[in-house]
Amino acid sequence: MPQPARTTPVATPLPDAAHRTVEVPGGRIHLVEQGTGPLVLMVHGFPESWYSWRHQIPALAAAGYRAVAIDVRGYGRSSAPRDVADYRMLAHVADNVGVLRALGEESAVIVGHDWGAPIAANTALLRPDLFTAVALLSVPYTPRGDVRPTDAFARLGGGEEFYVSYFQEPGRAEAEIEPDVRGWLAGFYAGLSGDAASSSGEGGFPLSTVPPGGRLSDRFPDAAPAGWLTEADLDFYAGEFERTGLTGGLNRYRNVDRDWADLAAWHGAPLTRPALFIGGEHDAPTTWMADAIKAFPVTLPALSGAHLLDGCGHWVQQERPTEVNALLLDWLQSLPA
């Protein structure tokens, strides 16, 4: 069972931003927005929240954009359906369309990190009439392929269990995480940080597999998260997940085969909208998916640039906010009006 929320008060972040909850066909989506101008919709990954864009929201707003970061369904104050199938990719795409319409906008640029990257990519793929450009952080675009995803992930584990496979069974990962949400999050964030990966010499791989009969946290580093994650930041994340639990976020992983079936009509389809990719040198997906990056001339024909940040880990927009903001703004300002 999820732990009760921490009683330690956490200061309200981004006091100049506004919180709203909007109705979408699948329920409600909580969002945080600041600024006026063309809409930039930001979609977070696992295990994060709108808060993972705390460095980008004010920067984009100051540059003349309407910066909006959502809590993905299952997170924060957004709806958390009970059915695992309600977290399929098509539902996330529909949520993004619903947010766009609820905000009274006709189009948006969409930006995604971690699981938010494939959500953003598929949103632009399925609704290019509404989403005019897409920026992907950490996870490169990969068109639907021939191999069922759970089969592919099983192969990646080798003699151990790949973490995506470990997340498949409802309740299994929750039983590991929820007795100590804050401690687990601290270890997970630290383990995928650039400093941890570079010091380990394993290029971001320590948290990719689970030993037989073990837990993912068995591979967590002893060191605390690097300076990019303060105690107040960790308190905010922990407070969110102690209240909601982790099932909503984990259910995204539990739909990979369902997504593969749903997206059969887009098998091998390139993403033709203007695109940007930003990854970290020590970000595991940039290694596992190196072939996807090499395929960008075919899969992302309108790509403006693919950037790997030296020494950076998985949490690119939090670890390197100044660099990411500069890359995003340069790209946004290059897009057709």
Q: What are 238-295's pLDDT values in tens digits?
A: 999 999 999 999 999 999 999 999 999 999 999 999 999 999 999 989 988 999 999 9
In the predicted structure, residue 10 carries a pLDDT above the cut 60: no
pLDDT tier for residue 36 given thresholds of 50, 70 and 90: very high
Contact 133, 64 (CB under 8 A): no
| Structure confidence at residue 287 (pLDDT) | 87
In the predicted structure, residue 7 carries a pLDDT above the cut 70: no
Strand order in the sheet with 66-70: 18-24, 27-34, 66-70, 39-43, 108-113, 131-137, 275-280, 303-309
Q: How far apart are CA 169 and CA 165, in angstroms?
A: 8
Q: How far apart are CA 329 and CA 307, in angstroms?
A: 14
Contact 204, 282 (CB under 8 A): yes
Residue type (1 letter), 195: D
| Structure confidence at residue 281 (pLDDT) | 93
Neighbours of 86 (CB within 10 A): 17
| Structure confidence at residue 198 (pLDDT) | 55
- What is the full DSSP assignment across 117-159? HHHHHHHHHH-TTTEEEEEEESS----B-SS-HHHHHHHHTTT
- What is the full DSSP assignment across 235-272? HHHHHHHHHH-SHHHHHHHTTHHHHHHHTGGGBT----
List, for residues 185-210, the tens digit of each pLDDT value: 999 999 999 877 655 544 445 678 99
pLDDT tier for residue 308 given thresholds of 50, 70 and 90: very high
High-pLDDT (> 70) share of the chain, %: 92
Q: How far apart are CA 43 and CA 118, in angstroms?
A: 10
pTM confidence score: 0.94
Mean pLDDT (the chain) is 92
User: Do you find a cis peptide bond into 47, omega within 30 degrees of 0?
Assistant: yes
Which residues are CB-contacts of 41 (< 8 A; sequence separation ≥ 6)? 68, 69, 70, 96, 99, 100, 108, 109, 110, 111, 131
| Structure confidence at residue 79 (pLDDT) | 97
Q: How far apart are CA 315 and CA 326, in angstroms?
A: 16
Contact 279, 316 (CB under 8 A): yes
pLDDT tier for residue 89 given thresholds of 50, 70 and 90: very high
- Listed residue (86, 72, 254, 260) closest to 170, CA to CA: 254
Burial label, 106 (beta-carbon count in 10 A; 0-12, 13-18, 19+): exposed
List, for residues 55-71, the tens digit of each pLDDT value: 999 999 999 999 999 99
Neighbours of 163 (CB within 10 A): 19
Which residue numbers are catalytic? 114, 314
Residue range 75-80: mean pLDDT, rounded: 97
In the predicted structure, residue 328 carries a pLDDT above the cut 80: yes
Q: What structural domains and CATH numbers belong to the chain?
A: 18-334 (3.40.50.1820)
Q: How far apart are CA 144 and CA 158, in angstroms?
A: 23
| Structure confidence at residue 197 (pLDDT) | 62
